[in-house]
Structure 1
Amino acid sequence: MKSLRLTSGILLAFILAMGSLLAPVAHAATRDAASSGELNGAQRAALYAMAAQTWRFFDADLDPNTHLPLDNIGFNGAPARGAYTSPSNIGVYFWSVVAGEDLGFISHKQALQRANATLSEVEKLSKWQGFLFSWYDTGTGHRISGPGGSDQEGQPVQGAFISTVDNGWYATGLILVRQAFPELAQRATALFDAMDFGIFYDNGDQSTNITAGQMYGGYNADQGPATFHYGMLNAETRIAAYIGIGTHKMPGDVWWRTWRTLPADFTWQGQPPQGSNVTYTDPQSGKPFTLFEGHYSSNNINFVPSWGGSMFEGLMNNLIIPETTWGTHSFGLNDQHYAQAQIAYAEQTLHYPVWGLSPASTPDDTGNYLAYGAHALASNSNCCPYDETAVTPHASFLALTVAPQDAFKNLEELLVRYPSLYGPYGFYDAVNPSTGTVGHRYLVLDETMIIAALDNALRGEKMQQHFMQDPVIAAARPYLEGEHFSI
């Protein structure tokens, strides 16, 4: 199909034809017109229509037995109902509740009722030292071995994996609840304070061990830390470092000891890193740290790479941490460069008509999930590269804050080229840009990234504002403000 660049009005008309826009929504979209000078009124109205359609997902996705979010919902032969959930799913579901109120889809009373119902169930979930296990059945709330796996409620927990990053996202949900719902603050804080993120910190000898000072990828209950580390700072896993530093359970060492690029002698990385050594003083301890401020370059764009080159590795944290305003010389700048580098890679290297490589459902109806990423943006491209055969719409929404016009135009292109990508709850999860095949699934993690991104884009970074008021999140500010990336 020949590419057509839709105008904003045509895009809005398309979405209206899909039945996604209700009368109160158009008015609400205009209320905060001053919140973004980069998107015009018609574009904002179109995005609001998408938000209205996306919001419907969160009514369908909640399990009525427990008020826990289902992992996914499928159509057109894809598995219809993923009746399991994770700490990440639970944490970001709270984001969706707050975004729904911010965007005018529910009242504060309705949002409070939803948050309270889910929080009440979370209080009853089995835990280990306050941390959530990896998987739960949404029908019973019981701990399970994995998606669709066996019931493990009441069984010994020794060796059960406690995920660092999943519990980091769970923690963000509790932070948001205490900020957005004062009535629930004491209960949310009690759940939050029960977790000691210090267990994920490697306090080994930094003079002899290159991974000492980094985070372990998890902890095996009643046994000890996982055997792998999170070595890259530009990854979604840095949310746990933000939480660890903000709660003073991890020293600021974790920020400086986690790599911007892999060490140069790691010859299997994507490309030799460029940059130089820089010494910083930790804002909390006053200790000096010398680190290599490295970067990669692709299509004449410099950026600090991620592990796999995916969009959510680079930009998911920016949904809630105001990296764009606090880190104008560090992550705020890199978030912009990283998005532009992935756009250029998809268009100029892969010759795709659309962009947005990020973990998502496979573009079919098998119900599978795969990590997708741009090889040039990845540290792992010479050892274990991510796949490059699917584009996911959530990547465009993630880029709204740092590249609003590019993101909007890509959403237009996705709609005109692949109209079957748009379904009852907005964009389905993935499309193969070469064949046009679609994965007809909605994942709560990806739908929440979309609704949170729209909350920021349409309400003046409202989601970020909720978080920046919390002292745990505010502790990140001097780290973001004080560092200058080599890009």
Structure 2
Amino acid sequence: MKFKRLLIGCFLCAIVCLGAVLTPAAAFAAPMPTQPPKTPSDTLTIPQKVQLYAIAHHTWQFFDADADPTTHLPMDNIGFNGAPARGAYTSPTNIGVAFWSIVNAQDLGFVSRIDALKRANALLSEVEKLSKWHGFLFSWYDTTNGHRISGPGGTDQEGQPATGAFISTVDSAWYATGLIAVRNVFPALAPRATALLNAMDFGIFYDNGDQSQSDTAGQMYGGYNADQGPANFHYGILNAETRIAAYIGIGTHRMPGDVWWRTWRTLPASFDWQGQTPQGYNATYNDPQSGKPFTVFEGHYTTNGINFVPSWGGSMFEGLMNNLVIPETSWGPHSFGLNDQLYARAQQAYATQTLHYPVWGLSPASTPDDTGNYDAYGARNMASNKNCCPYDETAVTPHASFLTLTVTPQEAFKNIQQLKQRYPGIYGRYGFYDSVNPVTGQIGHRYLVLDQAMILSALDNALLNNRMQSHFANDPIIAADKPYLSQERFSLP
């Protein structure tokens, strides 16, 4: 308790006296991206930041418990109260966000720069040893020995032929963000992280078909089957967590800018599985890299009186996870910077006004029980898939609130408080458990490394003036995306 009080006291002093510069790491950080001015009512107060800092400290402690002591790889989950105790398997996304957490811990003063470097080096050393296909990680690994496996709890596939193994587009991209963070925050590790980045050709995920003959040509495939060819499905919606792969593909120049313009803002009106007919207009843009003109339908949906560009399932992480590392809030004031805020407000309104829940936050998470299951949760009126395969609406997950801290800070903070006060059992040893049924109060007593990482990175941004974004902003891969965000105007007020 004495150490905790000291941490919080030091944080308060730093906020007041040093502009939230908490650690010597600030001297090594990239310049902060310029932020649009916020009104005083929108900004977090110092007492609010102190409370959030305490949550960040508890959340960080999860990552020490979650790292497998043999390999340093992040386990997928840890459970309590009868939930499965440990998921001793991991994925490319889990590895990527584990690198994030080390950066966050250094930023927030939970570990020294030397300790952070040691942790990053240990994890990077293990990643270098993992079996790969043309530089890409496979979907699943056993954290106890680093072997490739068929799936969570599946069979050992280490040393077996890779033919047909699925290489996920979006998982590969989140893994790449971890390497980008490492090379910008830990210069001593930059050559090794860059070598791992350069080994991956994101062009394999790009559909280079005839765009005059195919609606999906120019979009990304959902993955690649090793030694065989691309997956048989595309990522057609731009407002989804999968757009991180477009950011990486464009930034590495392995995908042309076409992928940005050919991916839909809303599904075409002829797609009848939508819950509503998209509204909007056509706009023409010249690609910042090639100069080619593209006509884009700038479409939007409306729910509870709010216009927004929809996601696939109406979940919070689809809309806002990218904003943790991509400076969408400042680079895209008329595109994703605006939509991230409107999307958050629309989901808040839908949960409280349409579903009449006392709290909001619909996003994929553990089910609110102790079975160890996982489900996709989202706001159906905000989803492109409403009439075909809608997400469930029976659970709220805390990570959704933290994702909105930099776009609707007061609403987010109020919801975080409501979650703790209304459902006392939702807060445990490592911060917020993963989900709660907002009607019954039943809780899923699990911590997922992905969701914990989103919470910690969101707090890094909210407490330190978008520090996490700043680690990415000047990297050449990410900087190449700025013109795409800055020139586009969504059909939003």
Measured against the shorter chain, the TM-score band is over 0.9
What residue in structure 2 maps to residue 421 of structure 1?
A: 426
**Residue 373 (structure 1) aligned to one of 367, 370, 378:** 378
What residue in structure 2 maps to residue 10 of structure 1?
A: none
SS of the aligned residue for 1:26 comes to: helix
**Residue 196 (structure 2) aligned to one of 191, 197, 214:** 191
TM-score (norm 1): 0.95
Q: What code does the residue aligned with 1:446 have?
A: D
Show CA shifts across 1:414-461 (max 9, x none). Answer: 011000000000000000000000000000000000000000000110
Show CA shifts across 1:134-180 (max 9, x none). Answer: 00000000000000100000011100000000000000000000000
In the TM superposition, what are the counterparts of 1:120-159 in structure 2 within 5 Å?
A: 120-159=125-164
Write the distance in 1 (CA, Å) between the matches of 2:244 and 2:13. Answer: 33
Show CA shifts across 1:275-314 (max 9, x none). Answer: 0011000000000000100000001100000000000000
- Stretches of structure 2 lacking an aligned partner (at least 5 in a row): 21-37
CA RMSD of superposed structures (Å): 1.1
What residue in structure 1 maps to residue 165 of structure 2?
A: 160
Write the distance in 1 (CA, Å) between the matches of 2:169 and 2:198. Answer: 16
What residue in structure 1 maps to residue 10 of structure 2?
A: 27
What residue in structure 2 maps to residue 317 of structure 1?
A: 322
1:386 and 2:369 are equivalent in the alignment: no
- Report how far residue 41 of structure 1 moved: 1.1
TM-score (norm 2): 0.94
**Residue 63 (structure 1) aligned to one of 60, 63, 68:** 68
What residue in structure 2 maps to residue 288 of structure 1?
A: 293
- Report how far residue 362 of structure 1 moved: 0.1
Q: Is the 8 A contact 2:15 2:46 kept in 1?
A: no
What residue in structure 1 maps to residue 304 of structure 2?
A: 299
In the TM superposition, what are the counterparts of 1:137-286 in structure 2 within 5 Å?
A: 137-286=142-291
- Report how far residue 228 of structure 1 moved: 0.2
Relative to structure 1, is the Cα distance of residues 350 and 20 closer, same or farther in structure 2, using a 3 angstrom cutoff?
farther
Write the distance in 1 (CA, Å) between the matches of 2:242 and 2:435. Answer: 23
Q: Is the 8 A contact 1:20 1:50 kept in 2?
A: no
Write the distance in 1 (CA, Å) between the matches of 2:273 and 2:197. Answer: 39
Q: What code does the residue aligned with 2:280 have?
A: G
Write the distance in 1 (CA, Å) between the matches of 2:65 and 2:77. Answer: 10
Q: What code does the residue aligned with 1:99 have?
A: N
- Report how far residue 400 of structure 1 moved: 0.1
Q: Is the 8 A contact 1:25 1:52 kept in 2?
A: no
- Report how far residue 337 of structure 1 moved: 0.2
Show CA shifts across 1:442-486 (max 9, x none). Answer: 000000000000000001100000000101000110000000000
Write the distance in 2 (CA, Å) between the matches of 1:182 and 1:378. Answer: 41
Write the distance in 1 (CA, Å) between the matches of 2:365 and 2:272. Answer: 29
What residue in structure 2 maps to residue 43 of structure 1?
A: 48
1:407 and 2:407 are equivalent in the alignment: no
Give the count of matched residue pairs.
Answer: 470
Q: What code does the residue aligned with 2:15 have?
A: D
SS of the aligned residue for 2:284 comes to: strand
Write the distance in 1 (CA, Å) between the matches of 2:3 and 2:307. Answer: 39
Write the distance in 2 (CA, Å) between the matches of 1:428 and 1:378. Answer: 26
What residue in structure 2 maps to residue 9 of structure 1?
A: none
SS of the aligned residue for 1:290 comes to: strand
- Report how far residue 27 of structure 1 moved: 1.3
Relative to structure 1, is the Cα distance of residues 20 and 209 closer, same or farther in structure 2, using a 3 angstrom cutoff?
farther
Show CA shifts across 1:329-356 (max 9, x none). Answer: 0000000000000000000000000000
SS of the aligned residue for 2:78 comes to: strand
Q: Is the 8 A contact 2:225 2:231 kept in 1?
A: yes
- Report how far residue 20 of structure 1 moved: 9.3
- Identity percentage over the alignment? 74
Write the distance in 2 (CA, Å) between the matches of 1:29 and 1:208. Answer: 59
Q: Is the 8 A contact 2:11 2:50 kept in 1?
A: no
Write the distance in 2 (CA, Å) between the matches of 1:332 and 1:319. Answer: 12
Q: Is the 8 A contact 1:275 1:295 kept in 2?
A: yes
Show CA shifts across 1:186-212 (max 9, x none). Answer: 000000000000000000000010000
Q: Is the 8 A contact 1:143 1:153 kept in 2?
A: yes
